[in-house]
Amino acid sequence: MRASDQRLAELRETIPEVTPAEARALQEQGAALIDVREPDEVAQGSPAGAERLVRGFLELRIEDAVPDKDRTVLVMCAGGVRSLFAAEGLRQLGYSAVRSVLGGFNRWKEDGLPVEHPRVLDAGERERFGRHLLMPEVGEQGQVKLLESRVLLVGAGGLGSPAALYLAAAGVGTLGLVDDDVVERSNLQRQILHTDDRVGTPKVASAELTLKALVPGVTIESYELRLDSGNVDEVFAGYDVVLDGSDNFPTRYLVNDACVKLDIPNVHGSIYRFEGQVSVFWPGYPGRRGPCYRCLYPAPPPPELAPSCAEAGVLGVLPGVVGTLEAVEVIKLLLGIGDPLVGRLLHFDALAQRFSEYAIEPNPECAWCHAEGEFPEYVDYQSFCSSAGVGAKAAG
Amino acid sequence: MTETTVRIPTPLRPLTDGAADVVVEGSDVAAALGALGARYTGLLERVLDEDGALRPFVNVFVGSTNLRELDGLRTELREGDVISILPAVAGGGPA
Ligand SMILES: [Zn+2]
């Protein structure tokens, strides 16, 4: 008898086995079903609701997936052999109720039990996102989540440039870009999505070229238009997060109002010369109740008190810092990790090289985020801002 | 008298000869801002309206707490407090 056969016989003595139908019933009562097969096998189908932890990383990752060592854990492979070895590994980690599924996924399928086809990473994605996969906070499931995510960037300018580059690089699968501007040479001091030979071409087209050169698989949805009350609902629909990188108050208030109405997190960044502000306006955040942009700034400054960057100038690197901070918040929100800037205003002063954080509270009088019943109609944003920053190119 | 530091945001620095941090005296925020306004003409109008109330596009913090969560302009100050003025800025860094 070969040593492996002998070991298997021993494991069958010690590891309880359950049929796929029994496993399904236990799963419905709260047991964790762990599919330990390789990614190419999982791509052909996997039990509905199963956790997929490849055998090679099972012991390293199980405690994140199943923190409770007394929870029943059902281990499944293709035929019921590898799962016995895997189950033994889990017992040695201290899991007290481990079962192996007899006949594995092959029998699960034959028995007509529910199967799903999870999105798994292909070999190229596995290589590209390898540094993410090493971190339990992202891992394979987090990376798949990023690939299936949709982020809308309002503005493909100063803030949108670094944000879009890093979000695409991180594997966010779909990026929407709203901008009706064309590339000008004076943009290139900071808008690093664009290149000198694209001066005169639409920013959304230029951005798509750059982003696809970085990540060929990224999907770009271009909106070469000015956001207004009439199109905002349609443009925003279906996005998981909106990143505000606009350059004028009418657009900022419109982005706020639409995000509150549609319950989409609004990752805010704004800059002036050497300083920037970053926050996440998301009254619907389950973790705590934060303000919306109107709670913080009920009305915009009159235009003479709010010169644009075009008039006042801006340090070219500044949007790099602020847009990148926005990208960090987006990734955290998509993965559901860390503590977002909800109810927190982060201020960056480049000259002092100082970050300051301020607590910002919801305003109980806010007509937008405290609206009961019907959401207020969108207003006329141009006249509300009494022409503050009108001319309003989307995005720095 | 209580000495505090007021952090001046970039958009208002043309009014403070470029100064970013200004030390003023005053036992509450109104007094401190009044001292600031006495030193730099034109600055106070950017923060307060004709009735002396905070403008809606400006937030003032003592430490990390918004005046709105404290006693507003009547908020008392302690020696060494830092008052930050944060106006809304629109920019994403336009053309
Ligand atoms: Zn609000």
Q: What is the dihedral of CA A264, A267, A270, A275, to 10 degrees?
A: 160
Q: Are residues A109 and A138 in the same domain?
A: no
What integer is the mean pLDDT of B56-76? 96
Query: Hey, what are A134's tokens?
Result: 């090493």
**Whether A104 contacts A80, CB under 8 Å:** yes
CA–CA distance, A117 with A143 (Å, rounded to integer): 16
Residue A261 backbone phi and psi in degrees, to 5: -60, -45
Cross-strand partners of B43: none
A291-312 average pLDDT score: 84
- Identify the domain boundary among A77, A100, A120: A120
Query: Does residue A297 sit in the same domain as residue A188?
Result: yes
Unique residue bearing structure tokens 């999505």: A193
Is A391 part of a structural domain of the chain? no
Q: Is A393 domain-assigned?
A: no
- Mark whether A91 and A151 lie in a shared domain: no
One-letter identity of residue B26? G
Determine the Cα–Cα distance for residues A24 and B18; give it in Å rounded to an integer: 70
Q: What is the C-alpha end-to-end distance of chain B, expressed in Å?
A: 47
Domain count, chain A: 2
Residue A390 belongs to some domain of the structure:
no
Q: Which residues of B touch A (CB under 8 A)?
A: 7, 9-11, 20, 46, 55-59, 61, 64-66, 68-69, 84, 86-95
pLDDT of residue A302: 83
Q: In which domain, by residue range, is A138 found?
A: 131-384
Looking at the predicted structure, is the pLDDT value of residue A392 above 60?
no
User: How many CB pairs below 8 Å do chains A and B form together?
Assistant: 137
The domains found in chain B, sorted by start residue, are 3-87 (3.10.20.30)
Q: Does A85 reside within a domain? A: yes
Residue A263 lies in a domain: yes
Query: CA B24, B27, B31: angle at the middle one, nearest 5?
Result: 65
- Tokens 């923190």 label which residue? A67
A165 and A99 in a single domain? The answer is no
Phi, psi of A116 (to 5 degrees): -130, 160
Contact A396 B57 (CB under 8 A): no
| Residue B91: per-residue pLDDT | 77
Residue A304 predicted with pLDDT over 90? no
What is each CA distance from A71 to A97, A123, A177, in whole angstroms? Answer: 7, 33, 45
Share of chain A above pLDDT 90, in %: 85
* Parallel/antiparallel/unpaired status of strands A266-272 and A241-244: parallel
Q: Find residue B6's DSSP bridge partners.
A: B22, B83
The Cα–Cα gap between A219 and A168 comes to: 9
Pick the closest to residue A151 from A335, A321, A287, A276 (CA basis).
Answer: A335
Q: Do residue A319 and residue A222 come from a single domain?
A: yes
pLDDT at B87 over 70: yes
pLDDT at residue A106 in the model: 96
Q: pTM for the full model?
A: 0.85
Whole-angstrom distance, CA of residue B86 vs CA of residue A355: 13
End-to-end CA distance of chain A: give it in Å, rounded.
72
- Do the beta carbons of residue A88 and residue A11 sit within 8 Å? yes
**Which is it for the CA torsion A234, A239, A242, A246, positive or negative?**
negative
User: Is the per-residue pLDDT at A27 higher than 50?
Assistant: yes
User: What does the pLDDT read at residue B88?
Assistant: 93
Is residue A229 in a domain? yes
State chain A's mean pLDDT as an integer: 93
Q: Are residues A140 and A256 in the same domain?
A: yes
In this predicted model, what pLDDT tens digit does every residue of A330-370 receive, in sequence order? 999 999 999 999 999 999 999 999 999 999 999 998 989 98
Task: For this complex, say whether ipTM is above 0.90.
Answer: yes
Which residues have C-beta within 8 Å of that of residue A161, sequence separation ≥ 6? A190, A191, A192, A193, A194, A207, A319, A320, A323
Q: Which residues of A touch B84 (CB under 8 A)?
A: 347, 356, 358
C-alpha angle A229/A233/A235, rounded to 5°?
105
Report which of B89, B87, B59 is spatially closest to residue A319, judged by C-alpha positions: B89
Using pLDDT thresholds of 50, 70 and 90, give the confidence band for residue A269: very high
What per-residue confidence (pLDDT) applies to A313? 87
Asked if the structure places residue A392 within a domain, the reply is: no
Q: Are residues A188 and A312 in the same domain?
A: yes
Same domain, A356 and A265: yes
Distance in angstroms (rounded) separating the CA atoms of residues A189 and A205: 19
Chain A residues near residue B46 by CB distance under 8 angstroms: 305
Residue A217: pLDDT above 90?
yes
Q: Are residues A377 and A264 in the same domain?
A: yes
8 Å CB contact of B94 and A319: no
Mean predicted confidence (pLDDT) in A311-318: 90
Domain boundary among the residues A120, A153, A168 is at A120
Pairwise CA distance, residues A362 & A370, whole Å: 9
Task: Fill in the DSSP letter of residue A68.
Answer: -
CATH number assigned to the domain comprising residue A154 = 3.40.50.720
Choose one of A120, A140, A159: the last residue of a domain. A120
Residue A207 lies in a domain: yes
> Do A97 and A137 belong to one domain?
no
Does residue A167 sit in the same domain as residue A53?
no
pLDDT for res A310 = 72
CATH no. for residue A42?
Answer: 3.40.250.10
Chain A residues near residue B93 by CB distance under 8 angstroms: 157-159, 190-191, 247, 271, 309, 314, 318-319, 396
pLDDT number for residue A382: 87
